[in-house]
C-alpha cells in the first residue's frame, strides 16, 4: 500500500474526523471509500461514452427495433 500526503484546511480535516468517528472508521478509510466511488463513477462514464460512440449514427435502427418490440408485446 502507498502512503499519500494531503494538505487540507483544518476545518475540513476536523469535519472528516467527525464523519469518520460517527461511522466507526478512520479518515484514511473514508478516503479509500471515496476513491473507490470516484473510480466507479469514472468507469461508468467511460462505459457510457463508449456505448454512445458505438451507437452513433444508428438512432433510426434503434427506434425501429423499439417500435418492433412494442408491437410484439401487444
Give the pLDDT of residue 7: 96
Kindly report, residue by residue over 18-30, the tens digit of the pLDDT: 999 999 999 999 9
Nearest CA to 35 out of 24, 45, 43 is that of 43
Residue with grid cell 463513477, as numbered in its chain:
41
State what percent of residues in the chain have pLDDT above 70: 99
Residue with grid cell 463508449, as numbered in its chain:
50
Kindly report, residue by residue over 40-73, the tens digit of the pLDDT: 999 999 999 999 898 888 989 989 999 999 998 7
d(CA 10, CA 23): 20
Q: Is the pLDDT of residue 74 over 70?
A: no
Percent composition of the chain: helix, strand, coil (DSSP 3-state, to 5): 80, 0, 20
Taking residues 7-25, report their average pLDDT: 97
Residue 63 CA, distance from chain mean position: 28
The maximal CA–CA distance of the chain, rounded, in angstroms, is 62
Give the pLDDT of residue 55: 87
Amino acid at each position: 500500500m502507498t502512503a499519500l500526503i494531503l494538505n487540507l484546511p483544518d476545518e475540513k480535516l476536523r469535519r472528516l474526523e467527525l464523519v469518520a468517528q460517527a461511522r466507526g472508521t478512520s479518515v484514511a478509510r473514508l478516503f479509500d471509500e471515496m476513491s473507490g466511488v470516484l473510480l466507479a463513477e469514472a468507469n461508468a462514464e467511460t462505459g457510457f461514452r463508449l456505448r454512445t460512440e458505438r451507437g452513433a449514427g444508428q438512432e433510426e435502427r434503434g427506434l425501429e427495433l423499439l417500435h418492433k418490440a412494442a408491437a410484439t408485446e401487444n
